[in-house]
Structure 1
């Protein structure tokens, strides 16, 4: 038999209004209401919510319920005497608790019994309902936990899949970058041994080959790094400006890609400033023209002729 692990049970707030409880209080006094709830507490703490119909049970209950008082015994026996045959047949009738239990079973129908145990049907129903409710809650929590675990597992799998794809892309990029660097080194090494330095670009489409050739003739060797910087200059400023910058660098004795970059940027700045100045001059010229035109429109030429020739 499993031991009850609960530390409370439901108690109706209007329990004293129950007709059976009211009859018990009316015949046995208000003290019987305290006996009733102490007895219910003992049943709630017992295995299967039942107490054995044994002598030791009633000895313990007499002590727990403080029913050794002669006046209490007399008041219980007065009600119990209606069942005189029980007094004659049962040797435990000297225990006040036995008399109380008998009355609760047979007169007030608050308890039930068999040949071995007595119990409260209402208490058992309440605990069974509580057990079903707790099992329902546990099942809901279990299902919620399983659902949550599946969701976390799915998220983890998705994240792992994304990470794998990302890693795959990154690996491909690293492989391509490594291959590009190896090709550049191979081309550069081949160009150093070859009489024609531009041979490093012959095995691929080279859209800026004239720029590389001019740089090598005017300034120096085109390494893979310098090639990339020249490409960036062409993309940002255009071929014409880069050609001008290379020639200017060579004329000024420059010998580095940094010099070419500085000249290219400086030339563009000068172009912008020049265009801005021209626009300003044109604007001023247009203003003067408009002003003179307005003056011409305001002059009365007939009066001016008369004034010059002395006519009124």
Structure 2
């Protein structure tokens, strides 16, 4: 056993009432009580709580206990008279501490010994009890530490789960927010579209407010006379104006409306037909002095293959 590292040991408050201690004090005097506790302190500090039965031990104890032959012989004269054989058999009987320890072992049974050491059974029991108690406390602390570690681990895992759940919630919230933004964007687009439609219902030409509306009168006339101007119809009206001019398209729209037409194709047909009639009229006036029927018939047959629009441009000096 390693040397005791404790700085204290248990000491009964009524130790002086122990019959063995009381007998020692009665026979050796109160000074023996002080010697006893100094001796116990030395044993408590020794390896295995034992001191060797060696000469150097008793030399040191005589010095520690401040004992001398006269003092010990006076105190134990009557007790030691019956142990004269010890003086005769042991060369160490000249040491006061040896005589005291001999009495503590054989007369008062406060100490025990073998051929090599002496010790206090009570002191060893107390330290063994203290050791068991300390080991029990250490074991409890160890188990408490393990339990605390498990608790911290569980809390950490729970915290991780909470953080993961929070992350999922945040992700779901982000998705919800994204969906809300998408819905809000669609709602705004629908509102814009609805407002645009409502504005177009009040003013159909409002769909062209953000564009160049040089043909706006054409669109307006078409919408009033024939029907709705879609982007496709708008483009075809623009092409008619570009090819035939506003006046001819206006005439064609009015003609279409008068004849009950209801499509852009009808307007295109009327516009082309009006141009053809103009070209024929102008072409006929330029040939009014011709008397050759054959030529007229020939020209009439050629009229079927004439590109009237190009002819019109030729007659009016357009290249």
Q: Deviations over 1:85-123 (max 9, x none)?
A: 211111000000000000000000000000110000000
Change (3 A) 1:223 1:168: farther
Whole-angstrom CA distance in 2 between matches of 1:253 and 1:85:
161
Number of equivalent positions: 312
SS in 1 for 2:91: coil
Map of 1:268 onto structure 2: 275
Gaps of 5+ in 2: 157-163
User: Which one is further off, 150-159 or 34-43?
Assistant: 150-159
Is the Cα contact below 8 Å between 2:279 and 2:312 reproduced in 1? no
User: Which one is further off, 146-155 or 251-260?
Assistant: 251-260
Is the Cα contact below 8 Å between 1:187 and 1:201 reproduced in 2? no
User: Which one is further off, 63-72 or 149-158?
Assistant: 149-158
**How far has the Cα of 1:67 moved from its partner?**
0.4
Whole-angstrom CA distance in 1 between matches of 2:294 and 2:152:
75
**How far has the Cα of 1:82 moved from its partner?**
1.3
Map of 2:82 onto structure 1: 82
User: Which one is further off, 159-168 or 56-65?
Assistant: 159-168
**How far has the Cα of 1:45 moved from its partner?**
0.6
Map of 1:20 onto structure 2: 20
Whole-angstrom CA distance in 1 between matches of 2:300 and 2:213:
58
Change (3 A) 1:284 1:190: same
Is the Cα contact below 8 Å between 1:67 and 1:73 reproduced in 2? no
User: Which one is further off, 175-184 or 59-68?
Assistant: 175-184
Q: Deviations over 1:11-56 (max 9, x none)?
A: 1111111110011011101100000000001001111110000000
- TM-score for both structures, normalised by structure 2: 0.52
Is the Cα contact below 8 Å between 1:188 and 1:223 reproduced in 2? no
Is the Cα contact below 8 Å between 2:282 and 2:315 reproduced in 1? no
Whole-angstrom CA distance in 1 between matches of 2:53 and 2:268:
108
Change (3 A) 1:194 1:288: closer
Gaps of 5+ in 1: none
Q: Deviations over 1:182-210 (max 9, x none)?
A: 99999999999999999999999999999
Is the Cα contact below 8 Å between 1:112 and 1:118 reproduced in 2? yes
Change (3 A) 1:239 1:138: farther
User: Which one is further off, 156-165 or 283-292?
Assistant: 283-292
**How far has the Cα of 1:154 moved from its partner?**
1.2
SS in 2 for 1:104: helix
Whole-angstrom CA distance in 2 between matches of 1:86 and 1:276:
173
Change (3 A) 1:176 1:235: farther
Whole-angstrom CA distance in 2 between matches of 1:282 and 1:81:
189
Is the Cα contact below 8 Å between 1:191 and 1:197 reproduced in 2? no
Q: Deviations over 1:136-183 (max 9, x none)?
A: 111111111111111111111999999999999999999999999999
Larger radius of gyration: 2
Is the Cα contact below 8 Å between 2:4 and 2:44 reproduced in 1? yes
Change (3 A) 1:221 1:163: farther
Whole-angstrom CA distance in 2 between matches of 1:168 and 1:56:
89
Change (3 A) 1:266 1:289: closer
**How far has the Cα of 1:255 moved from its partner?**
36
Change (3 A) 1:301 1:267: closer
User: Which one is further off, 233-242 or 92-101?
Assistant: 233-242
**How far has the Cα of 1:311 moved from its partner?**
112
User: Which one is further off, 167-176 or 274-283?
Assistant: 274-283
Whole-angstrom CA distance in 1 between matches of 2:59 and 2:204:
116
Whole-angstrom CA distance in 1 between matches of 2:185 and 2:134:
64
Is the Cα contact below 8 Å between 1:234 and 1:242 reproduced in 2? yes
- TM-score for both structures, normalised by structure 1: 0.53
User: Which one is further off, 110-119 or 280-289?
Assistant: 280-289
SS in 1 for 2:289: helix
Is the Cα contact below 8 Å between 2:92 and 2:98 reproduced in 1? yes
Change (3 A) 1:149 1:81: same
